[in-house]
Chains A and B, each alone.
Chain A
Amino acid sequence: EVQLVESGGGLKQPGGSLTLSCAASGFTFDTYEMNWVRQAPGKGLEWISHISRSGKTIYYADSVRGRFTISRDNAKNSVYLQITGLRAEDTAVYYCTRSSFDWLFLFDRWGQGTLVSVSS
């Protein structure tokens, strides 16, 4: 069974940093591209970052470029999202998603999400 399990969220102060992790299982991790999508409380979905199978090709949404860094460790079947300079508007549930085999930005599996709250 495909599983994506996020961790690393919590209450953080403005200006701080954190790293979210996503542990994958149930599929051959290094053959799939991966993404992070976030959802602010009561709001819709926002794609924020994508990473290729090798980790060499990376894309970011304009809204997060410069503060967010995506990475992966295929040996650990994990993908990560580092966030610096936290802002109140970064408060959201962050989902790890798997890209479908045929379309990079079609998300065929989602984790349960991890909540990041930014407040002083």
Chain B
Amino acid sequence: EIVLTQSPGTLSLSPGERATLSCKSSQTISSDYLAWYQQKPGQAPRLLIYATSSRATGIPDRFSGSGSGTDFTLTISRLEPEDFAIYYCQQYDRSFTCTFGQGTKVDIK
């Protein structure tokens, strides 16, 4: 099973700052098969980024994804108040299954 490890566990930042979230895989993943989701308290997750760097419909361009192989990154260029949430990476590279990272919480400093 592919294990995704996200870091840091919590990122404390102020609005307007840049957020950089890491997702490391235990095995090489094709760049076509890495996604990021955002989850706000009491809400369902929402797809942000797929295929490493493609934004889902309606996602603002302050969200960007990058990476390859085993190292992937989600960057939020300038944090807006509504961006404080938990972010999960997900790999869907293997047939018949997928796995999520444990999440990174971005909270207000």
**A81-112 interface bits toward B, Cβ cutoff 8 Å, 1 = contact, 0 = none:** 00000000000000100001001111111111
- Interface hub of A50, A59, A107, A111 (most chain B Cβ within 10 A): A107
Knowing A106-B35, A106-B50, say if A46 contacts B100 (CB, 8 Å).
yes
Interface residues of A, count at CB 8 A: 20
What residues of chain A have their CB less than 8 Å away from a CB belonging to chain B? 44-47, 50, 59, 61, 95, 100, 103-113
What residues of chain B have their CB less than 8 Å away from a CB belonging to chain A? 32-33, 35, 37, 43-47, 50, 56, 88, 90, 92, 96-103
Interchain pairs with CB closer than 8 A, number: 50
List residues of chain A with CB within 8 A of the CB of B43.
Answer: 112
Knowing A44-B88, A44-B101, say if A110 contacts B45 (CB, 8 Å).
yes
Neighbour of B97 across the interface among A45, A105, A108, A113, CB < 8 A: A105
